[in-house]
Structure 1
């Protein structure tokens, strides 16, 4: 019995490093939601730092980290040659970079409207949207068990929202606007993820070094965030300068945590697979509810508890029966399979 359990554990985490990355991924993901919520000004629920500049500095950190990782095995001069050879790919990455730019900035807005647990639960609706996109655009027929997991996911999210939290009622955006912004963020995530996967795995992208592709993505993201910052600063009299984020303690922590989270996500998918990433999401939902109660004093209502359980169950089912790319009926996935996808 013990040998069987040990073998199962080994199949999930082949090395101690993979287990460490799995745990670190969960910690950094939860940290982001908690840090953003803690950094809000209590009276207004907004931030006393420039959100766009925090996202911009995060992308800059990711770019520098990717550059260092690339230079570990390659001469720095080769970056110029790689960029010239793949200038078209650099341009194509502007599309997911633009979408992720909105996604990252909307995360701060939505976390100012919803409590962390609600935010994490609603964010899982991107699984539902992905299923619909594959069903409609790519003509991928979903199996009954896939639809069951998506229906459970929707029920769990609706159940959590039956009782609207007081902070949502009192927020200047309101619940309806908040749900629209949340839907926009989910749409950006879904569309960017599908397009990014295409760039990584098509004939051209599959031949390009992963770190080079990451640098293309982060460089384009920096450009998009700069444009967004310049646009918003012209229309907002109270806009803070780019340097204002550097003197805010919480902003610094958010930048460092987000940069580390982006890199660890790549390591997770490289060391394990995207299925384990979904399992990590189920663990996150439980932990974020507990930590939000302990640290931020958000109560765990029966709607929250049941919603977390249903959504966690649905994402695990979906992970075991994912959408296949060849249109065939999906089969349960071995969690020891590999994946080269990097985000």
Structure 2
């Protein structure tokens, strides 16, 4: 299979995976509200699984030698607490980010959520400018402006449509919108911070991921103890779990691997296609199958602006890359 075929297969897989992750998470939070699962338990399980996968990949890179793998992890992770401490901040924010996304999808339909969450492109760009001293072209700044306007249109028009809701429901929707905006900020900061740590270190990507996953596990289980201890004692760790919950966990785990594949074989233009396709898939399924989305004028105007801005930003990024 040539690289071109792998490129487009990874594109299709990313599109379906992104849309599926959002849609199933939304379904899992709304299908049975009588006894919902605890989102922080799924976050913890995702981090444990990621750690095991990172260790397995590191084991493969070390030639399937247990002693060498164990020694390298001992030397690079256990005996270097300062290096692990550097990742405690993104680990904490990453756990918060995932919990915020569960809050958002509990009250926002998948289509609106996906459009608004594209603000992470803006926050990533801004943090790259301030933390990594990257320079953006005028076209990229224009794309970010269009992206912001598109998201604002979607949110403002949705707020007007939600005027007939009860105060409690309306408050939940507003809280979900704020959760998406805050998660976008955390996503941008985490991505840039992790990139900065990688560039300033000689440690391998998988060692850094092991450190990050380890810190995330500690923080995730600490949050469970602080906020969900009584609920877990009463109904158990896996309370409210269904096939959809396990699907959310699996899709969360493979999302990182999917991004790695796309980064290797695709480019930013194709990733823009993937975002666009996933938004269209989410819109179609939310409207026709989940019956929780009614497109308004703001969405018809704002969503194409967001998709177009994603293309414009990605195309300019590709042109700016050194040969």
TM-score (norm 2): 0.85
Are positions 1:193 and 2:183 aligned together? no
More helix by share: 2
Change (3 A) 1:120 1:212: same
Question: Which residue is 2:284 aligned to?
Answer: 290
Aligned residues: 312
Q: Deviations over 1:130-187 (max 9, x none)?
A: 3333445555554321221111111111221213355994526444433332222111
Change (3 A) 1:209 1:250: same
**Alignment RMSD:** 3.0
User: C-alpha displacement at 1:261, in angstroms?
Assistant: 1.7
CA–CA distance in structure 2, aligned partners of residues 225 and 90 of structure 1: 16
CA–CA distance in structure 2, aligned partners of residues 319 and 289 of structure 1: 22
1:139-154 alignment runs, 5 A limit: 140-154=134-148
Are positions 1:226 and 2:221 aligned together? yes
Shifted more, 296-305 versus 149-158: the winner is: 296-305
Q: Deviations over 1:239-271 (max 9, x none)?
A: 7532336x4221111111211222211222123
CA–CA distance in structure 1, aligned partners of residues 99 and 112 of structure 2: 18
1:6-21 alignment runs, 5 A limit: 14-21=3-10
Change (3 A) 1:96 1:166: same
Match of 1:301 among 288, 296, 301: 296
Contact between 2:11 and 2:262, CA under 8 Å: does it hold in 1? yes
Change (3 A) 1:77 1:166: farther
CA–CA distance in structure 1, aligned partners of residues 234 and 273 of structure 2: 39
Contact between 1:50 and 1:239, CA under 8 Å: does it hold in 2? no
User: Gapped runs of 5+ residues in structure 1?
Assistant: 1-12, 323-330, 339-343
Change (3 A) 1:238 1:70: closer
CA–CA distance in structure 1, aligned partners of residues 131 and 46 of structure 2: 33
Match of 1:265 among 256, 259, 272: 259
Change (3 A) 1:240 1:150: farther
Change (3 A) 1:228 1:333: same
Change (3 A) 1:139 1:261: closer
Shifted more, 112-121 versus 72-81: the winner is: 72-81
Contact between 2:28 and 2:245, CA under 8 Å: does it hold in 1? yes
Change (3 A) 1:65 1:218: same
Are positions 1:281 and 2:275 aligned together? yes
User: C-alpha displacement at 1:38, in angstroms?
Assistant: 1.0
SS at match of 1:242: coil
Change (3 A) 1:287 1:209: same
